[in-house]
Amino acid sequence: ALAPRCGWVLPRLEQRLAVPAIVSPATARPYAAAAKTAKKDAKRTRQEKVKDKPPPRRRPLMAKPVDDVYLTWLYRRPTYELEQAVGMLKKFQELDFTYPKQFVYINVSLDMALQKKKKVDPFSSSVTLPHRFTDEVNKVLVFTENEQEAEIAREHGAAIVGGVELIKWILEDEIQADFYVAVPAIIPKLIPLRNKLKRKYPSTRRNSLGSDIPKMLQFFRECHEYTVEDENIIKTRIARLDMPTEHIIANLKTIIHDICTFKPSNYDPIVRRLVIRSATSEGLLLNLDGILPQVQTAEEKEEEPAADEDQQKPVEESVST
């Protein structure tokens, strides 16, 4: 057979050689789009039903169990007075035959919220406890370039004394201390250490910058330090279990009162929850009444001067007569 000449067109040849058009799934299966839309509507309906469904009613927690054995999650956690809780910890130690001189700890949950979106930044602090419970002495480094001040620092128990030559060794972690104190004359030369020491950088706010070297050394060698962890938790030891109950209570209140100074008194108390425990016992939730410092309201402050004026009036009248 001879090939067709150029320009010849066979009947229906264009239809056979034409590339078929791409057909969308929606066009090929018109029911698919409708099924997809129905599925979305059903899902939306289920979500709306879940939202409209009232939350499951929880059984209210009971106050006090009747039996010795009970399910703890059915009852509210009991709270104890401070003196009662310390007595219970001592009793636990006797019943369990554990170490009598174990440490006593507190876990403090904090309310760091202020107005709007502001909050108290995590902090650390040092405080002198009224009753020491350990013979450990903190390692204190003193910055000074005065030879007389250096000699005084050594006499009063400074672990390390020196000037700017210590900066290199501190930056390279060759020298480390628990606390760093300095005299005002050398503080401009210690700026390279600001990022390295962070909160331990000498400052007047932390009482680690001053001219009274013996006083600073006495405080920082014996002070107790605590730090906020996980943004709003403080875990620290406060005493030993064999100490008198009143000594344990005094140490606890000293730390709590120091914590309360980090939030203005016109807000809610910073201490939200307080648990005391020993190294081997369960934690006991404390009743905060009588532990937190008393805060005077503005009305009470206004009433006091008025009362003083009333007391002075009879005296003035008697003088005038």
Average pLDDT of each block of 10 consecutive residues along the chain (321 residues)? 51 53 52 66 67 64 72 82 97 95 97 89 94 94 96 96 96 95 96 94 94 96 95 96 97 97 92 96 94 67 50 42 36
Residues 241 and 117 in one domain: yes
In this structure, are 238 and 95 located in the same domain? yes
CATH of the domain at 91: 3.30.190.20
Domain count, the chain: 2
* Contacts with 235 (C-beta within 8 Å, 6 or more apart), sequence order: 105, 106, 107, 108, 229
* Residues whose CB is less than 8 angstroms from the CB of residue 143 and which lie 6 or more positions away in sequence, other chains included: 162, 163, 166, 180, 181, 182, 183, 186, 187, 190, 202
Which pLDDT value is given to residue 34?
Answer: 64
Q: Smallest Cα–Cα separation from 178: which of 134, 220, 208? A: 220
**Length of the chain, in residues:** 321
* Closest residue by Cα to residue 262 from 221, 318, 305, 205: 205
- In this structure, are 262 and 279 located in the same domain? yes
Q: Is 116 left (phi over 0), alpha (psi -120 to 50) or beta?
A: left
Structure tokens at 277: 């425990």
What is the predicted pLDDT for the residue at 311?
47
Give the CB-side neighbour count of residue 154, counting CA atoms within 13 A: 8
Tell me, yes or no, whether 171 and 210 share the same domain.
yes
140 lies in the same domain as 217: yes
**DSSP for residue 6:** T
What's CA 61's distance to the chain center, in Å?
A: 28
In a domain, residue 55? The reply is no
Q: Which of 197, 223, 249 is the C-terminal boundary of a domain?
A: 223
Residue 306 domain-assigned (yes or no): no
25 falls within a domain: no
Q: Do 103 and 239 touch, CB atoms closer than 8 A?
A: yes
Same domain? 117 vs 236: yes
Do 196 and 142 share a domain, yes or no? Answer: yes
Q: Is there a domain that residue 278 lies in?
A: yes
Are residues 107 and 148 part of one domain?
Answer: no
Is the entire prediction scored with pTM above 0.75?
no
Co-location of 180 and 217 in the same domain:
yes
User: DSSP assignment of 147-174, as one string?
Assistant: HHHHHHHHHTT-SEEESTHHHHHHHTTS
User: Does residue 253 form part of some domain?
Assistant: yes
Are residues 214 and 264 both part of a single domain?
no
Q: Is residue 1 part of a domain?
A: no
CA 133 to chain centre: 24
Biggest CA-to-CA distance, the chain:
151
Per the domain annotation, does 50 fall within a domain?
no
The residue range of the domain holding 247 is 76-122+232-292
